[in-house]
Amino acid sequence: MAILKARFPEIGLRIRPGLTSTLLADIERGNLDAAIITKPHLMPVGMQFRELAKEKMHLITAVEEPDDDPLTLLQERPFIRFDRTAVLGTLIDNWILSKRLRVNETMELDSPEAIASMVYSNLGVSIVPSLTVQPHDAVPVKRLALGDDAPTRTLGLVHAKNQIKTKAIDAIFDALLQVITAERSGPAISTL
């Protein structure tokens, strides 16, 4: 949003977190102009989804965990589940079912940050996306790949097809892509 505010200092932004279904409903009601969401299996009629990134899922566990086998950890450690009513939660559940894994569910949360905090405190393991843009203050956890068939979420900007603020939506999309491209390029090297 810093890029957007630098280009358009007069723009007013109201940013709030939410699950995909809630954000889509708010766009349909006209309460939101656009949202960054996990692409659902079916997009509601009248919505336009513009892909930003694909994020593979990985298992997270406490840094001190000696085991490196994600399937063993999922079966032997308490499982901290992402909200099963969310698109992301369903994606993770479907993968667990496809692997025929039995997990010992201990918590269900709707915040990746809260999940990481619980895992950091060694209260269990979880499956979360490998974020395209890493937060600067991420909680230190051990990340383990789930394999080639790991679930992947598609992130994108969604808005009503008949949106009248197309210039603003395009500017938001372009700013988001700029940040993603910079993150993929790695840190800039400064020469003095």
Write the pLDDT tens digit of every residue in 147-181.
999 999 999 999 999 888 888 899 899 999 998 98
Which residue would you say has higher pLDDT here, 73 or 181? Answer: 73
Nearest to 179 by CA among 147, 134, 148: 134
Q: CB under 8 Å to 135, separation ≥6 — which residues?
A: none
Which residue would you say has higher pLDDT here, 14 or 171? Answer: 171
pTM of the model: 0.84
Structure confidence at residue 99 (pLDDT): 95
Radius of gyration of the CA atoms of the chain, in A: 18
| pLDDT over 50 (residue 36) | yes
Structure confidence at residue 35 (pLDDT): 94
What is the average pLDDT across 51-68?
96
How many other C-beta atoms are found inside a 10 Å radius of the C-beta of residue 60? Answer: 27
- Please compute, for residue 118, the number of CA atoms within 13 A of its CA located in the half-sphere on the CB side: 22
Could you give the domains of the chain? 2-53+154-185 (3.40.190.10), 55-152 (3.40.190.10)
**pLDDT of 88-136, one tens digit each?**
999 999 999 999 999 999 999 988 889 999 999 999 999 999 988 887 7
d(CA 121, CA 62): 7
